[in-house]
Structure 1
């Protein structure tokens, strides 16, 4: 039986013997309706893939174009709990967060329906994984960077309880017709099994965004999101992906290259050479320094999102002497081996894929292995 939220009504329905709370924001679709809308979830309509599932472009009966996300793992909850979580997610509204408009929970299927955004994702456009006619001048990049920062600050600091995203990366930053960035996939960790959202081996590029404590130990905090945001910030300024194995070994990881130029006092070399007259070199270098602050190995040294926004806008200074050498995870194979260790094994050897200057320090008030409920 399919879901039973109906737009504009606050009702209760019985699904498989359970009473399910209705809502006034989330519409329901049958599995067959979404299958038809996406031409049977055809590869031709596939527009993205992430740790939570694949996304397809779909056209509803009324002609509305939507983005249909098929969750890759069965929900860890029953239908009632699934709807309760979706209701909470649909109530989270911010200019820089994507809008959930519908869902399907039919049999083992769990599908979410979002507004379709015309300009796809940063991974598809700015970072060159697909043709784009968008002109990403400096002011547009500032708008995107600040928008993502505001959206993540909202999730971390203004939502109660806060939401830890777990998968901040370029493919999860979508752009509307005005190039306003929208963070997608927030809150989805609540809907899936505990092991379904940790280090996805299916998605190329994810590895470069992972904070060491998350990649190795599955330790999720706001600071792991901040690490990922720092990598994204470097990508926005440089216009290149965080990892490119076609480059010489020493230049393959953008974070390592940025650190090297920072040490040499030549951060401007990281800035995208295609940027033209509106480039503010000083501002761009400040963004890169904020990115380095976000990606430090010791979690306690990474700033929170509120301070990151203030540094990006220039309302707060960036303390260069606070920047230490970042940690970089460069080999998924090492993570797989390390993840097989016992959860209480706190004496695992330092992995060869780390570039570490000092041991990580974990503040007990921040550390957790689960997202906030």
Structure 2
């Protein structure tokens, strides 16, 4: 019964039937994991038949079970594995579970369990796996835990466990992984004898309050590959005995009180397999070791991550770094390093992340830095070794709810040089860094103009130039940076009009403050006619945009790396706080909501449209403010090109989604109201219903029906167990429903609507997993009453039809292409562009076409769907999808034809003209 769409409580009649089967010896396994079952976990399968129960495997994980685990499990005399992680269970461990002495595995992570672990756990002498992480357990680790001599995996991290590591733990000679990170443990570990843990490969003691020197006997654990001791109170020096750990690949001792950095680096250079080394926030006020002290040219030959930030080092950037040819990430931030940035950094072929911020660096931005191979060549960046970390990096080491990252490549290609004393102009050669995602040059002494060549950085997401002495105008070409989500040129000497359009319509006034000669609506200073952009500037900008759009359609390889940052929030190692962490940077949202908090409670009545889904009778702007907590960032549930989407629970208990449109949408208020009211007539069971709108002091809000299950993108690509819960019938139903919604837009509603941005994140799912197309018609708010929509960039990377690189027109056939990509997502479970795949299979459409040409179309299907008896149906849908993504738009079917084909899947093979 696992990995389905079951919900509600488990029927008592089913449980009684299974209990009877258990009594007869026929029930050995009961697995309901990865569903949406609610209520309490039933233990009756054991309680009535303790003497004859044959049940060996019980899995309730990844559901919505609540409450305490009731007694009864102890009666399952032959139960070997019990799993109930990822639920909302609370209360203590049931005492009788310690009577199930056959248990080899207890896995209950990611719940709300509390109380102490209890000494009774040591009765389970056969236990090999104990996973209780991410709960609320308190008290000490059981003092006699060493009696669990077969224990291999002990994962207790992210609780509130106190005390110290019990000495008996050292008797668990079969331990392979021990993780107690993020607890309240303390004590001097140097008295513990780790030398008996010869099988131990991963040890994580981070984020506790351990003291003393690093445990000397730890160096006897020859199998260790990963050690995290970060964020404790260890002191002293790294012992030469560490050279016994020649298998060690990951070492983090950040945020402690170690000394003698020169001695530490000399020793660690001898560990031939070391690839990740994080020593930040130690060695306070020492000198950065120079070439005279570090003389081993063969050291650190496998090092990929080197973090030495936050140590207050003096000295200069050492030249011995030039020997680290595998180096990908270098963090020397938050020190007192002086001198200039060495030009030889560009000889490090795999370096894509440099953080030299918060130092005392002087001199110019070396043009040599613009020739870093992994930042100038997409091919070079793609060939950087994609290493999986033995222990993950965490978004915030002190917050269990944050994400973890298992690959170095999850970090964005970035250069951080902020808060130094660099001077001179920003070189025009900076436009060569086309792989770059983030650039921070803030709070230096740069002067001259902002180079228009920055607009060549087509992957750029964050650009910080504030706090310098820059002059001239903001290049209008920067608005062609369609992925730019954070931008600041505040506190310079800039002048002229602030560009509008593109991402510039999403930036607040704080991005431009401190430049008194800048003008534009965002800073509430009007521009004189002579301050406008010249016709020549317009022509130049159009060329840049055209070039970018063509690259988006035909040169997708140059965009692939941005997808990681598009999907995963932005990260950076930050020695200013907990250095053994990756700091998430979310999309910048201005604290100014756009609606004054003191708005009249009776003012601005919201216009509501009558339709069968609308349960709201009346509504005011004040009630919207209250429901969204004045458009608090905590209530954001979506972000798109047209603005942010907020979840709001209204006074009558109805939950709605409120889209706050961003930027100047080009319509006067009267025109806007007329257009929105026209859109409200587009009503179909497979469209997200527009329930109302409000215009108040220039802020424009659209109110939609809230979709309980979020987007198709979330279920296919974001939710850990999402794909396994979407079986083929459900995926086919989603495709059928979405096609019907799109067909209504294209052929029935008047005037016809071109969506222009069909993608899995714009297909929302209700509580029954029925598909609803979202964001339809919003493009018409830019140019109303047109069935073609002319924009600077149409669509989303991976879904963009090839012809959009040749013309500025979004068409019905373009929508069909994008929908074909969505069908391929449903069939394969893959993203349209996936950097984690081998180079030849990163682009979904091209890969599918290659597989079909080689007669390997069966390999296209999601492994979770294979062997379930739906191969013929999936083949029919694959044929339809490939017709939709035909390179020639005139050979694509109409959406009405697609609807008919999908409707007939499974009953009779759709008749398709494949010519």
Which TM class, normalised by the smaller chain length? 0.7 to 0.9
In the other structure, the counterpart of 1:168 is 758
- 1:81 positional shift: 1.8
- 1:5 positional shift: 2.5
Equivalent-residue separation in structure 2 for 1:78 and 1:263 (angstroms): 52
| 2:811 paired residue among 214, 221, 227 | 221
Give the TM-score normalised by the residue count of structure 1. 0.74
Instruction: Give the 5 Å matches for 1:108-257.
Output: 108-128=698-718, 132=722, 135-192=725-782, 198-199=792-793, 206-257=796-847
- 1:40 positional shift: 2.8
Task: Output the aligned Cα RMSD.
Answer: 2.7
Equivalent-residue separation in structure 2 for 1:280 and 1:187 (angstroms): 35
Q: Deviations over 1:8-61 (max 9, x none)?
A: 69xxxxxxxxxxxxxx99977554432321223233222112222221111112
Q: Is the 8 A contact 1:73 1:193 kept in 2?
A: no
In the other structure, the counterpart of 2:673 is 83
Q: Deviations over 1:146-195 (max 9, x none)?
A: 11111111111112321111110011100001110000111111213699
SS at match of 2:651: coil
Task: Say whether 1:49 aligns with 2:651.
Answer: no
Give the TM-score normalised by the residue count of structure 2. 0.31
Equivalent-residue separation in structure 2 for 1:216 and 1:110 (angstroms): 33
- 1:277 positional shift: 5.8
Moved more, 96-105 or 271-280: 271-280
In the other structure, the counterpart of 2:607 is 5
- 1:77 positional shift: 1.9
The structure carrying a bigger helix percent of its residues is 1
Length, aligned pairs only: 303
Equivalent-residue separation in structure 1 for 2:792 and 2:869 (angstroms): 38
Which of 1 and 2 has greater Rg? 2
Q: Is the 8 A contact 1:27 1:101 kept in 2?
A: no
Equivalent-residue separation in structure 2 for 1:267 and 1:54 (angstroms): 39
Equivalent-residue separation in structure 1 for 2:822 and 2:805 (angstroms): 17
Structure 2 vs 1, CA of residues 273 and 7 (structure 1 numbering), >3 Å: closer, same or farther? closer
Task: Say whether 1:280 aligns with 2:882.
Answer: no
Q: Is the 8 A contact 2:759 2:799 kept in 1?
A: yes
Structure 2 vs 1, CA of residues 301 and 276 (structure 1 numbering), >3 Å: closer, same or farther? closer
SS at match of 1:261: helix
Q: Is the 8 A contact 1:7 1:27 kept in 2?
A: no
- 1:80 positional shift: 2.1
Equivalent-residue separation in structure 1 for 2:684 and 2:756 (angstroms): 18
| 1:101 paired residue among 691, 700, 712 | 691
Equivalent-residue separation in structure 1 for 2:763 and 2:648 (angstroms): 19
Q: Is the 8 A contact 2:734 2:769 kept in 1?
A: yes
Structure 2: gaps (5+ residues): 1-602
Q: Is the 8 A contact 2:655 2:706 kept in 1?
A: yes
Equivalent-residue separation in structure 2 for 1:27 and 1:221 (angstroms): 37
Q: Is the 8 A contact 2:608 2:692 kept in 1?
A: no
Equivalent-residue separation in structure 2 for 1:2 and 1:131 (angstroms): 43
- 1:197 positional shift: 5.7
Q: Is the 8 A contact 2:610 2:691 kept in 1?
A: no
Equivalent-residue separation in structure 2 for 1:218 and 1:89 (angstroms): 23
Structure 2 vs 1, CA of residues 77 and 266 (structure 1 numbering), >3 Å: closer, same or farther? same
Structure 2 vs 1, CA of residues 99 and 234 (structure 1 numbering), >3 Å: closer, same or farther? same
Equivalent-residue separation in structure 1 for 2:807 and 2:712 (angstroms): 28
| 1:270 paired residue among 857, 860, 880 | 860
- Higher RCO, 1 or 2 (CA under 8 Å, sep at least 6)? 1
Equivalent-residue separation in structure 1 for 2:837 and 2:674 (angstroms): 47
- 1:278 positional shift: 4.3
Instruction: Give the 5 Å matches for 1:312-351.
Output: 312-314=902-904, 316-320=910-914, 322=915
Q: Is the 8 A contact 2:609 2:691 kept in 1?
A: no
Equivalent-residue separation in structure 2 for 1:6 and 1:49 (angstroms): 23
Equivalent-residue separation in structure 1 for 2:743 and 2:851 (angstroms): 28
- 1:310 positional shift: 2.1
Structure 2 vs 1, CA of residues 132 and 271 (structure 1 numbering), >3 Å: closer, same or farther? closer
Equivalent-residue separation in structure 2 for 1:235 and 1:102 (angstroms): 32
Moved more, 268-277 or 244-253: 268-277
Structure 2 vs 1, CA of residues 279 and 58 (structure 1 numbering), >3 Å: closer, same or farther? farther
- 1:259 positional shift: 0.4
Structure 2 vs 1, CA of residues 169 and 279 (structure 1 numbering), >3 Å: closer, same or farther? farther
Equivalent-residue separation in structure 1 for 2:825 and 2:857 (angstroms): 13
Q: Is the 8 A contact 1:29 1:102 kept in 2?
A: no
In the other structure, the counterpart of 1:58 is 648
In the other structure, the counterpart of 1:39 is 629
Equivalent-residue separation in structure 2 for 1:6 and 1:286 (angstroms): 42
Q: Is the 8 A contact 1:28 1:104 kept in 2?
A: no
